[in-house]
Chain A
Amino acid sequence: MKLPELSLSPIQHRALSLIAVLTILPHGLHFSPQINLYLMLLMIWHLAGLRWHRFRPGRWSLVIATLGGIALVFSEYHTLIGHRAGVALLTVMFLLKVLEVRRRRDLTVTLYIAYFVVVTHFLFGQSIVLAIYLFALMIAATALLLESQRVTVSRHPADPLYRTLVMSLQAVPLALILFVVFPRISHPLWHIGMNSSAMTGMSDRVRPGMISELVASEEVAFRVRFDDTPPAPEQRYWRGLVIWDSDGETWYNRTGSPFWKQDNDAGIAQVHYEIFLEAHQHPWLYSLDLPLNSPPQAILTGDRQLLTRRPVNQPLNYRLVSSTEQRDRRISTSMRTRALALPDNITQRQRDLVEQWKQTSGTDRDLVQQVLNHFHDQPFVYTLTPPLYPDNPIDEFLFEGREGFCEHYATAFTQLMRLAGIPSRLILGYQGAEYNDLGDYFIIRQSDAHAWSEVWLAEQGWVRIDPTAAVAPERIRYSILTDETPPGSPVSFHIDRSGFIGRSLIQITHLLDNANVQWRRWVVGYSREHQFSLMRQFGFQRLTHLEWGIMIAGLIGVIMLVVALNLIRQGKNRPSQVMQSYERFCHNLARVGILRKPGEGPLDYARRASRARPDLSAPISRITSGYIQLRYGPDPKPELLENLQRDVRAFRPGRTRHRV
């Protein structure tokens, strides 16, 4: 079937509609209902226009719809720039363009916009599934583009898809090479609208109840791969934020972190590891207990926090060296003042309790132990669903409720230490880790969120104290199973990992998580550092811009050459043996002056040749009929080919004439 030069076939129209819907679909998750409704109405309009021509949008209705779309996006976002408003606007414009498509030329431009919309999805998600979906969509769009370029219509819809897949497979090496070697820039070129979205995860403030909300989330916070032996489970404290100040209810940092040169770290046991951090929208990184160095993205502060310049809004990989035993001994006067500062809602019963402990203990160390014993011996309950302590959380928790989660214990403990004159600070991070044996790494989930304290002891320096461990020691060995905790019940710490199904489920979860980790590590989290270390492995130390350029061009050139040679090989006129024999026959006849005219059928040619050379009419008709049977006949027998080849070999028109 042949098409008029410029129009689209119904099936092409339908394919375009499908591609448009699939392209827009994932954006529906974060567009407002109004924009989604508008997009839906446009799509209905488009489909109605395809079905009934009188609904086809005219020029003016399209102008009005465009202006309406711009107004709607503006009213939702109060701007048209920035990635959210920009993507919404682009999506509306894309669909309007789809409505406008009549001719094949429109189709081309529309598909280019579709490519662009596809790429914008990666601003909102980077999972494997989304990537597979979007790449499939790009291939489908390309297949439609390819189909629209030919004159006749493909016999089967899979035909253009197959061709596009072949081209895509040839494009993949180019894409991978460029992906690996194209220089990455660590900082954005400019900064539009990357304000943090609603997040689930840590906050930079600790309120009672904050972490227990977090613990219900099975989302992955980060993953860790150790170079050597991982530290023991009770050493797996993942330090994030150090909090110094309290207003009696909320703990937060009033001022910045102290900065000074670290103590000499030489001679202590070091743990080398790599962290694959998920975007968490905060300007800090997590480390195993005490970090000894800082990755290029962050700086190491005096209280051993890793702070970044900007919130971490992209998954990030970094290598670290930590120690689980190093204790910083230094404490400045201002630091000491800050670590002893008390809020103004300290009650008399708190002072009395601390005074009583002070009298019975000789050293600070003893006092710490006394507080921990208090948590252990008194009926303190460790629960995910503690009661509310509305007026004075620490006081009510210590003397009335006695039910709390880690942040209750940690804040109360820190405050009691300060009352006793021991400098202390609150640490926010994660504790524990789930081992993935398939990928040999650990997963730290939001449910591992934890808070603990660090106190400064004269002989030892800063020491980590986890008051929660005093209540429920199991807490520091295993993660909590959140699903099976009815509100108000004490937390069940025992995870049933026996049984085939339980084990298989864990295996499957680990397999999927491992795929995700590799994806995060090599694709989503691929960075400048990876690039440099990869280059070093190939022996390139420091390359100039020119050398980078030459390398990229060279690699692309090599791949293109390989593909080109492959294409030539495929396109080579490799006529079948039948064709070869027949062509030899024609060639022999041509040598005696009987040329086959272009477009002349074999029968006509044979007739003409026989007329010119009656002496040869028998072999000519034998060869011609053999050829026709082999080429056009159904299911030719193999001996036919042998006969044809023998006849053609024996066919020597030049020599026969001499003999006759």
Chain B
Amino acid sequence: MAPSLSQWLRPFQRHAHADAQGGVVIKPRSIYILPTRQGLLLALVILLMLVGSINYGSNLGHLATFFLGGLWLISILHTWRNLLGLRLQPYRVASVFAGDTAEFQVMVENPSQIPRYAIQIRHRKEQGERLDIPGSDQMMFTLPLATRRRGPFPLPRITLQSTYPLGLFRAWTYADMPLECLVYPKPAERGQPPITTAYQPSDQGDRGVGTDDFIGLRPFRSGDSIRHIDWKAYARQQGLMCKQFGGDRHLEVRLDWDLIAEQEAERRLSLLCRYVLQQEELGQAYSLTIPGVHIASGTGQSHMQRCLTALARHGLDHETA
């Protein structure tokens, strides 16, 4: 695809680079400013007033016209000042699955005593909300960006903009900041992982999953065997409960790249991602093996994140490492 003009011009845009803490301070000369559509409309109205004043030889008409013209010009400076000196600090972004919206959070600090109004962060067509920042204060801005592919998704060059005070001009500045969203593969549809289970002795005795001893009830989930439903509890109007059984061994599911009956790599990652989520839902331990990475069996939030991260980064590590 041939680069569009704006892409081609990108290296020439004045933009602020991040400092050691990843923050960006907006300097006077990095602010662009152009009239908005409303600004052009008012300019047209002022021009009409001027023509009328000249035609009728009205000096006060001239004065009023020039006053509005003066306000129009002065508002350039105020719009510019509204962005000047603000400091952007990348804050955080939660990992999402491909296709979901990543919410990049950027803290904008206003170190001056003067409040700043109607500040907005955007990237191309995607806009965050507009916020006012009181003097010597800071506000968290969220920029929702749609993700498409798995892998690290760095915050693109963002635009910080404002049309305050009169909406006649739009001042904006470009900022590059080191903030990266890790996009997990898009989970595939639900399905049974290939059965590669192994029973291993559990260190904790009965806490594993088995069929030997009844260990308690948990709410029914779709997919649970009907035979395990505690019908007596249902009769007591406790809802559908599922009997859980534990054994002295626990079940380990091995999620292995090579065992997926798909050829396409992304499809394999999608399926593995879904299985990781499913196993986590079931609370069953699982291990993950993909080319170059093996994650030993486990369960829980951090284990899941390790697995998902490995899936997200698969094949892309040479870029980020």
Question: Contact residues of A with B, CB < 8 Å?
Answer: 5, 83, 108-109, 112-113, 115-116, 118-120, 122-123, 126, 131, 134-135, 138, 142, 145-146, 148-152, 163, 167-168, 170-176, 178-179, 182, 185, 188-190, 192, 194, 314, 523-526, 556, 560, 563-564, 567-568, 570-575, 579, 595, 598-599
The answer to whether residues A115 and B68 also contact, given A167-B165, A568-B28, A575-B111 and a CB cut-off of 8 A, is yes
Decide yes or no: A151 and B131 within 8 Å by CB, A179-B63, A523-B63 being known contacts.
yes
Cβ contact within 8 Å between B132 and A150 = yes
Distance A511 CA – B29 CA, assembled complex (angstroms): 51
The distance in angstroms between the C-alpha atoms of A628 and B260, with both chains bound, is: 59
Known pairs A175-B69, A573-B85; A194 contacts B112 (CB<8 A): no
Q: List 8 A-B contacts (CB under 8 A).
A: A119-B61, A149-B117, A150-B164, A163-B165, A167-B71, A170-B70, A571-B85, A572-B85
Of residues 47 to 61 in B, which have CB atoms within 8 Å of A's CB atoms?
48-49, 51-61
**Is A598 in contact with B89, judged by CB distance below 8 angstroms?**
yes
Check: B128 CB closer than 8 A to any chain A CB: no
Q: Are A571 and B45 in contact (CB under 8 A)?
A: no
Instruction: State how many angstroms separate the Cβ of B257 from the closest Cβ of chain A.
Output: 38
A548–B70 Cα gap in the complex (Å)? 18
A contact patch SS: helix
Q: Are B73 and A556 in contact (CB under 8 A)?
A: yes
Cα(A108)–Cα(B36), bound, Å: 12
Is B112 in contact with A573, judged by CB distance below 8 angstroms?
A: yes
User: Which residues in A have their C-beta under 8 angstroms from that of B132?
Assistant: 150-152
B64, A122: Cβ atoms closer than 8 Å: yes
Complexed CA–CA distance, A211 and B130 (Å): 69
Residue in B closest to A105 when the chains form the complex, CB atoms: B38
Q: Which residues of B contact A556 (CB under 8 A)?
A: 73
Complex interface: chain A residues within 8 A of B65 (CB): 119
What B residues does A148 contact at CB under 8 A? 167
Does B113 sit within 8 A of A, measured CB to CB?
A: yes
Within 8 A of A (CB), among B87-120: 89, 91, 107, 109, 111-114, 117-118
- B53 contacts A568, C-beta separation under 8 Å: no
Name the residue in B48, B69, B84, B166 with the highest tally of chain A Cβ atoms < 10 Å from its Cβ: B166
3 tightest Cβ-Cβ pairs between the two chains A and B = A171-B70, A174-B70, A598-B89
> In the complex, A579 Cα to B53 Cα: how many Å?
53
- CB-CB < 8 A to B42: which residues of A? 112, 115
Contacting residues, chain A, for B113 (C-beta < 8 A): 574
On whether the beta carbons of B167 and A150 are closer than 8 Å, the reply is no
With the chains together, A595 CA to B20 CA distance in Å? 11
Supposing A172-B67, A524-B60, A571-B81 touch, asked if A189 and B54 sit within 8 A by C-beta, the answer is yes
CB-based contact A598/B67 at 8 Å:
no
Q: Within the assembled complex, what's the spacing in Å between the Cα atoms of A575 and B73? A: 30
Select one of A116, A179, A185 contacting B45, CB under 8 A. A116
B64 touching A119, Cβ below 8 Å: yes
B287 vs chain A, min Cβ distance (A): 35
Q: Is the CB of B59 within 8 A of A526?
A: yes
Kindly provide the distance from the CB of A512 to the nearest chain B CB, expressed in whole angstroms. Answer: 19
Q: What is the bound-complex CA distance between A314 and B55, given in angstroms?
A: 12
* Contact yes or no, A126 B111, CB < 8 A: no
Q: Would you call A112 and B71 a contact (CB within 8 A)?
A: no
B66 pairs with A175, CB closer than 8 A: yes
Query: In the assembled complex, which residues on chain B have CB atoms less than 8 Å from the CB atom of A115?
Result: 42, 45, 49, 68
Q: Which of B130-145 contact A (CB under 8 A)?
A: 130-132, 136, 138, 140
Q: How far is the CB of A80 from chain B (nearest CB, A)?
A: 16
Contact of B49 among A119, A135, A150, A190 (CB under 8 A): A119
> Is A179 in contact with B66, judged by CB distance below 8 angstroms?
yes
Expressed in whole angstroms, the Cα–Cα distance for A189 and B57 within the complex equals 9
Whole-angstrom distance between the alpha carbons of A570 and B64 in the complex? 28
Instruction: Tell me the smallest distance from the CB of B304 to a CB of chain A, in Å.
Output: 26
Interface presence of B41 (CB below 8 A) = yes
Contacts of A122 in B (CB 8 A): 53, 58, 60-61, 64
Known: A163-B165, A168-B67, A524-B59. 4 other contacts (CB 8 A): A115-B49, A119-B65, A122-B60, A178-B66
Nearest CB in chain B: distance from A452 CB, A = 33
Contact of A126 among B45, B58, B166 (CB under 8 A): B58
